[in-house]
């Protein structure tokens, strides 16, 4: 079954840029859309990137998404880090059976 893998945690200082990776287990991740969700402590998830690189209205342009076919991975990049960006981030794609697949989540610490 198709899976996506993320690092458990990343940390960076305010004002800096951080990138979170999401690697597909097989096939070509570029052939499926990848989404990214932010979940702050005690809150429901919200969508920050959909369809690889699209930003929902209201999401800061400090958030961007990309795909690297050579490494079969997707990335979420957050620039100009703020303390409010501290949260768990989940990537999501889907398998050939139309089942939604989530990564294990990455805890972002802004310190």
* Cβ-based nearer residue to other proteins, 58 or 70: 58
> At 73, is the secondary structure helix, strand, or coil?
strand
Instruction: Give the one residue of 41, 44, 70, 84 binding other proteins; rule: CB under 8 A.
Output: 44
Other Cβ atoms within 10 Å of 16 Cβ, number: 12
**Residue 41 is encoded by which pair of tokens?**
């402590």
Retrieve residue 85's tokens: 């960006």
73 binds other proteins (CB under 8 A): no
By CB neighbour count within 10 A (0-12 exposed, 13-18 middle, 19+ buried), where does 37 fall? buried
Q: For the CB of residue 93, give the shortest distance to other proteins in the complex, in Å.
A: 8
Residue (13 or 28) nearer to other proteins, CB? 28
Q: Which residues contribute to the site for other proteins (CB under 8 A)?
A: 33, 35, 37, 39, 44-47, 50-51, 56, 88, 90, 92, 94, 97-105
């Amino acid at each position: 079954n198709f899976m996506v893998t993320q690092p458990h945690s990343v940390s960076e200082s305010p004002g800096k840029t951080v990138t979170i990776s999401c690697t597909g287990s097989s096939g070509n991740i570029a052939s499926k859309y990848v989404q990214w969700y932010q979940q702050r402590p005690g809150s429901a998830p919200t969508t920050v990137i959909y369809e690889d690189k699209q930003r929902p209205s209201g999401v800061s342009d400090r958030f961007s998404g990309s795909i690297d076919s050579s490494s079969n991975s997707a990335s979420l990049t957050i620039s100009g880090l703020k303390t409010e960006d501290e949260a768990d981030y989940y990537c999501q794609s889907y398998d050939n059976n139309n089942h939604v697949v989530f990564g294990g989540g990455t805890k972002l610490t802004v310190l």
